[in-house]
Copies of this chain bind each other. A is one copy, B any other.
Amino acid sequence: MDAATNVTEQAPIEKPLALMNFSKRVMLKNVVMQSDGGISLVGQRLVIGGWVKSSRELKKEPLQPPVVIDNVVEPKVVSCAEVLQSRIPFFKSIIKVFGGGDHHIRNKLTAVVKQPQLYTSILQINDGSCIPNLQVLVDSTLVPPSQVMPSGVCILIEGILQQQSVQGKQVIELKAEKIVHLGTVDQDKYPLSKKRVPLDMLRDNSAHFRPRTKTVASVMRIRNSLSQSTHTFFQNHGFVEVQVPIITTTDTEGSSKKFQVTTLLETGHRIDKKPRDSLRNLMDAVEEKSKKVEELQRNESNKEAFHAARQDLQQTTELASQFERTRKRRSTEMIIEVPKLNFSEDYFSHKTFLTVSGRLHLESYACALGNVYSFGPRFQAEKTDSTKSMPEMWMVELEMAFSHIEDAIECADTLLKFMCTSVLNNCAEDIMFLSKRVDKTLVDRLQKMTMNSSEKISYTQAVDILKKVTQKKFHVQVQWGNPLTEEHESYLADIEFKRPVVIYNHPKEIRPFYARLNNDGKTVASFDVVVPKVGTLIKGSQNEERLATLNGRMEELGLRGNEYEWCKDLRRHGTVKHSGFSLVFDRLVLYATGLNDVRDAVPFPRSCGKAFN
């Protein structure tokens, strides 16, 4: 209370800090990120909430000068302490009742024994709105230090801002006057109680605690900013956002590994009988055929029929014994084909999958609204353990009517420049932090992207360049007609050009069926944007608007299903030249944060064998 009166006298409050809407507290960013360090806020009474990042304890100066013994500030009322100390066994039992573990007893005891007004917990509190913490002083009269000091403790406090009285990183600090809410931590089980747990250790089983680390919190604020910039960019350029479906019957890439979506596996369902899978049926058949053979043998009239029947019997018998042998070899489980589920009884009356790409669906809207984009999750069931790919990734996809491949490349270039500029402007503090903590080249890489254009080379040129490389031996030799590997791409972006590289006009065999065939009949109007460190960020193409050519390409690839009829319809009726691309948003976050593993750039990463929440 004294402190409050003091500071109010020191500095009259000019503009009180605004409370957050829907949460009656002040956002820490507005306290610690003031240009004057917050000195003009001194004297304000406010409520802040957050989690304890670190803490220390300070013996508090008594109001009257202390008796100094051996450089330790001792409480003046020694007699009181002496009385308490004489009762240590009694306090020990009290502490046990209140749930303190044995190994904490010494600390707690000290606190209890020396307490009344004698200790101050100095907490570094953060609410996730910014990097710097606010230093908060909590008197032991308000709450026992043992309850507020462990890292991870959640606290909602009312207090008064004052000039920093105890050494810390900020100009101001909060002197707590009232604990509004306190959420304690079970220190033994809390994975973040030790400092700096490596990200890959937290990734899977402790993903739900990751955002409490400084690094992941920064990454998520940057991710948020990039997401907003995506929308800003497209809205500024007259695009309409279209949410493409996640559950789909169309395989946009034509040959991707997909996740199936089904409700058939939960309860009993009708299954087509497959007699060939059943040993019983085989044995029945053997029996029946034996009878037939015997009968024919008895008759002796038709020798040919007898021989044919005998041969048939032999084959069936062999099949049955093979089946039996297989069955016996595997005693507890057996490899058999999945029974043919009757998908007409599935939720959608046929097989459905998670979407691999929304570009075909976007075509439909581009053919009506002109320029459209989508931002959402896409899925691939490839069983790889890559630092650049995940089964579930967010993508920015767009499609532009009346546009050619050059337009799409220009759009990709402009978009990347805009994103890098925005993130440097909007997340300066987080970028600086990550460039110190994670990747020193981060700022430089982002700035370069905003200033320079990308290098543009055809696939054929890229192959030529890579063939001439002598200073490095690639694991997979480059060959025209094959996809470039991550290693090839990295060489071009990181070593050869040291900036983003656009590679265009790929062989048709390595691109989706809808990429527009070039006049050479061998390549298509496709492109990739490869960036240093991260690799392929964007894959795009001008799409085939000529129905006959599209039909030809689909025939070559054996894509004969009805599922693509709707996509052919768009060429039958008012077809238009159009182009677009997919940007792997999660990799853009990787690029903008300097991280090495894309799984650290998403809120809840999934990978092969790993989905825990």
Contacts and interface: CB of A to CB of B under 8 A. Distances in A.
Given A22-B411, A262-B265, A273-B332, A221 B245 contact: no
Interface in A12-27: 20-25, 27
Total identical chains: 2
A240 B572 CA distance: 44
A420 to B, nearest CB: 18
Interface string A230-261: 01000101101111111111100000011111
A118 to B, nearest CB: 26
Interface stretch (A435-443, A469-477, A551-559, A573-581): A573-581
B347 A383 contact: yes
Given A152-B573, A212-B367, A228 B249 contact: no
Contacts of A352: 611
Contact of A348 (B20, B341, B575, B611): B611
Nearest to A259: B261
Contact of A243 (B21, B129, B602): B602
Contacts of A257: 263
Interface in A44-65: 49-52
Contacts of A410: 21-22
A181 interface: yes
A220 B372 CA distance: 10
Interface in A176-233: 181, 183-186, 189-190, 207-209, 211-212, 217, 220-221, 223-224, 227-228, 231
Contacts of A245: 392, 603-604, 606, 611, 613
Contact of A609 (B259, B349, B402, B604): B349
A401 B575 contact: no
Contacts of A272: 333
Given A259-B347, A402-B25, A250 B333 contact: no
A264 interface: yes
For chain A, the bracket of interface size reads 35 or more
A478 interface: no
B243 A338 contact: no
A572 B241 contact: no
Contacts of A603: 242-245, 361, 365
Given A27-B370, A220-B242, A369-B129, A261 B260 contact: yes
A257 B483 CA distance: 42
A183 B368 CA distance: 13
Given A212-B368, A259-B261, A391-B247, A49 B334 contact: no
A446 interface: no
A38 to B, nearest CB: 18
A4 interface: no
B261 A354 contact: yes
A104 interface: no
A237 B21 contact: yes
A22 B243 contact: no
Contacts of A468: none
A377 B23 contact: no
A575 B403 contact: no
Q: Choose among A22, A129, A186, A347 the residue with the greatest number of B CB atoms under 10 Å from its CB.
A: A22
Interface in A593-613: 602-604, 606, 608-613
A265 B21 CA distance: 49
Cβ-closest 5 pairs across A and B: A128-B369, A211-B368, A154-B574, A183-B575, A208-B364
Interface of A: 20-25, 27, 29, 49-52, 127-129, 152-154, 156, 181, 183-186, 189-190, 207-209, 211-212, 217, 220-221, 223-224, 227-228, 231, 235, 237-238, 240-250, 257-273, 278-280, 332-339, 341-342, 347-350, 352, 354, 361, 364-365, 367-371, 376-377, 379, 381, 383, 391-392, 394, 400-403, 407-408, 410-411, 414, 545, 563, 566-567, 569-570, 572-577, 602-604, 606, 608-613
